[in-house]
Amino acid sequence: MHNQDTQKKGSASIWQIAKAVMFAFMGIRKKSDLENDAATLTPAQVIIGGIIGAVLFVLGVMFVVRLVVS
Amino acid sequence: MAAVHGDVHGHEHDDHHPSGIMRWITTTNHKDIGTMYLWFSFAMFLVGGTLAMGIRAELYQPGIQILEPELFNQFTTLHGLIMVFGAIMPAFVGFANWQVPLMIGAPDMAFARMNNWSFWLLPVAATLLVSSFFVPGGAAAGGWTFYPPLSTQGGLGVDLMIFSVHILGASSIMGSINIITTILNMRAPGMTLMKMPLFVWTWLITAYLLVLVMPVLAGVVTMLLTDRHFGTSFFNAAGGGDPVMFQHIFWFFGHPEVYIMILPSFGIVSEVIPTFSRKPLFGYSSMVYATASIAILSCVVWAHHMFTAGMPTVGQLFFMYATMLIAVPTGVKVFNWTATMWRGSMSFETPMLFAIGFIFLFVIGGFSGVICAIVPIDIQVQDTYYVIAHFHYVLVSGSLFALFAGAYYWIPKWTGRMYNETLGKWHFWLSMFFFNLTFFVQHFLGLAGMPRRIPDYNLQFADFNMISSIGAFGFGSTQLLFLYIMINCIRSGEKAPQKPWDGATTLEWTHLPTPAPYHSFEKPPVVN
Ligand code: HEM
Ligand SMILES: [Cu+2]
């Protein structure tokens, strides 16, 4: 909270957010990556990223289901 | 943040707080309120347990011996409701009240008066629930999931239940808002989010889940209420409604709810395992991420409870796949706990025994969950004792064992006294033995086709039911031992040192005396 990384907050690229969310869904994350995430991502980015991730997850599963039943 | 701390300082509290019963009624102290939550939930655990003993006594032999079918259904319904909403959930809130401020270095919860209100709503709701046994027509008897049409047909007992669920929901929502605000705004300087103990993390995420789904529950019981009394037909096909819609709304609440009951126990186990392995938690960051993703994914799997309610194949497949994928982050957690113990210098005090018992048995419950998630299998086992076995493995040997682990782990900090280690170990081993005796055989009963929620059964189920009932009586009596151990500890336990567990690293052990003083962290500790 009070560390000097604060000025970098929000500087993450879309890809970085996407990666954090993807790893979250698997439940795996390296310590160094996590610290990097914590320093560069804002909560809003994580939440929006998470919701988009959930939507993509749902669409992905639906896509697989279509494949299976067609 | 400094302002918050300054504010709390402003009040002169020590000199004029009331004593006797008024202390408890008017208290805004997080420790008092935590204590009340814990005693309340234990009392409810005994009430719900008594109902369970009634159920198992009736099922001891085929035929109707003790409970008429109608009363039997009331017993199963209220057993479920009381255990879920009266015992497990308030117990975790009790732990949050005690531990969250201590673990993040805050002086109290953010909204101290609302905290008092959230607690005191609970006895009101519990009274409504329990007294519904004595109204004409008796208590609700449609199962803890109160599906219509049964729940639209029942008598006054159902109304009392609906009202009680409303109140419990309000209490939970207030409790979670309090927890979220406390965690986000009142951490000691230096306690960044990523330094928070895992118990605090799991509660933060759980609290968000609660805020998300409790209103859904409130909504669905309100729709039931208006269907019952105000002429609506939300769930009545004759009026253009749809009873299956109830199930969708209920389980949109219900599945996240089961994670609400398990995530805080993941948190407790993630504190206990590292302490007694004398190693930091393996994969702290993975644990945080896995918890968050379990919370999100738990909102898209609800219809696995409804595979037999009529659903297109694509729906069945979707919910089957999604449910099985959610087992992945859960598996990551089990892996992390195991890796934490790997090559640790472990010792096996009672909290650790319960935590290891948790991992072992929760895995069995997780696997039987995945089995239930496979549509063709679930079509066979749905509404049988197999499902009963599944969720008791995750709720009793999951949530409840974690609560026991947490109680033994923190009781020295709360009371300044040690519990009796020998008796604690007895409590663990007896619980372990009787729990498995009760519930393992229920897998066999379910696979053989014994339906749930029935007071009588065919002769071929007799042996396993007798075994299960004997186990249940044993398990029930063993919990009285827990009560004895706790009272004994509070009254006359040996004095506890500041840090009885040498592997403990969280603030409540490192920065506070034992017992924790009535007002702690009035000056925030500095965390580095
Ligand atoms: C590995 C994760 C899990 C999976 C895959 C899973 C899957 C399932 C499925 C498919 C059912 C429906 C069975 C049926 O009605 O035919 C079910 C029921 C249930 N599960 Fe789980 N589950 C998991 C974890 C949990 C946890 C952690 C809890 C609670 C702490 C829980 C509590 C319940 C309850 C209470 C029911 C029964 C609800 C009722 O019908 O009364 N489950 N589970
Ligand atoms: Cu579920």
Asked if B192 and A61 come within 8 Å (Cβ–Cβ), the reply is no
CB pair distance less than 8 Å for B294 and A66: no
* Residue type, position B212, single letter: L
- Residue A7 is given by DSSP the state G
- Cβ contact, residue pair B285, A53, below 8 Å: no
Q: Are B288 and B198 in contact (CB under 8 A)?
A: yes
Q: Which amino acid, B36?
A: M
Q: Which residues of B touch A28 (CB under 8 A)?
A: 283, 286, 289-290, 332
Which domain covers residue A27, as residue numbers?
Answer: 14-69
- Give Cα B47 distance to the centre of its chain: 15
Its pTM surpasses 0.90: yes
Residue A3 lies inside a defined structural domain of this protein: no
> Residue B318: helix, strand or coil by DSSP?
helix
Q: How far apart are alpha carbons B467 and B191 in whole angstroms?
A: 51
CA distances from B364 to A4, B367, B464 (A): 46, 5, 19
Please choose, from the candidates B466, B354, B508, B371, the residue with its C-alpha nearest in 3D space to the C-alpha of residue B421: B354
What are the beta bridge partners of residue B157? B139
Contacts of B439 (CB under 8 A, 6+ apart): B388, B389, B392, B393, B396, B397, B468, B471
In a domain, A8, yes or no: no
Chain A positions in Cβ-Cβ contact with residue B321 (cut-off 8 Å): 61, 64-65
Measure B306 CA to ligand 1 centroid, in angstroms. Answer: 11
Residues of chain B contacting A, Cβ within 8 Å: 187, 189-194, 283-290, 292-294, 296-297, 299-300, 313-314, 317-318, 321-322, 325, 328-330, 332-333
- A33 has pLDDT over 80: no
Cα–Cα distance, B465 to B140 (Å, whole number) = 25
Q: pLDDT tens string for chain B (528 positions)?
A: 344 444 444 444 455 677 888 889 999 999 999 999 999 999 999 999 999 999 999 999 999 999 999 999 999 999 999 999 999 999 999 999 999 999 999 999 999 999 999 999 999 999 999 999 999 999 999 999 999 999 998 889 999 999 999 999 999 999 999 999 999 999 999 998 888 999 999 999 999 999 999 999 999 999 999 999 999 999 999 999 999 999 999 999 999 999 999 999 999 999 999 999 999 998 888 888 888 888 888 999 999 999 999 899 999 999 999 999 888 888 889 999 999 999 999 999 999 999 999 999 999 999 999 999 999 999 999 999 999 999 999 999 999 999 999 999 999 999 999 999 999 999 999 999 999 999 999 999 999 999 999 999 999 999 999 999 999 999 999 999 999 999 999 999 999 998 999 899 999 999 999 899 999 998 889 887
CA-to-CA separations, B282 to A30, B84, B225, B361, B434, in angstroms, rounded: 11, 31, 48, 21, 32
Q: CA angle B60-B305-B364, nearest 5°?
A: 60
* Number of structural domains chain A divides into: 1
In a domain, A23, yes or no: yes
Distance, CA of B92 to CA of B204 (rounded, Å): 12
Q: Give the gap in angstroms from C-alpha B374 to the nearest C-alpha of chain A.
A: 14
**Annotated active-site positions of B, please?**
79, 108, 144, 171-172, 255, 257, 259, 270, 304-305, 330, 333, 452
Does residue A38 lie in a domain region? yes
Count how many Cα atoms sit within 13 Å of the Cα of residue B221 in the half-sphere of its side chain. Answer: 23
- Is residue A4 in a domain? no
Chain A residue with CA closest to B185: the answer is A1
Q: Could you tell me if residue A55 is inside a domain?
A: yes
Of the candidates A27, A33, A64, which has its C-beta nearest B321's C-beta? A64
Residues of B in contact with A1 (CB under 8 A): 187, 189-193
Residue nearest to atom 29 of ligand 1 (CA): B258
Residue A1 lies in a domain: no
Query: Could you tell me the sign of the dihedral formed by the alpha carbons of A31, A33, A36, A37, in that order?
Result: negative
Dihedral Cα B390, B391, B395, B401, nearest 10 deg: -20
Triad B133, B134, B138: Cα angle to 5°: 55
d(CA B506, CA B515): 15
> Which among B50, B40, B39, B142 has a CA at the least distance from the CA of B86?
B40
pLDDT of residue B308: 94
Who contacts B496 (Cβ-Cβ below 8 Å, separation ≥6)?
Answer: B412, B413, B415, B416, B417, B418, B514, B515
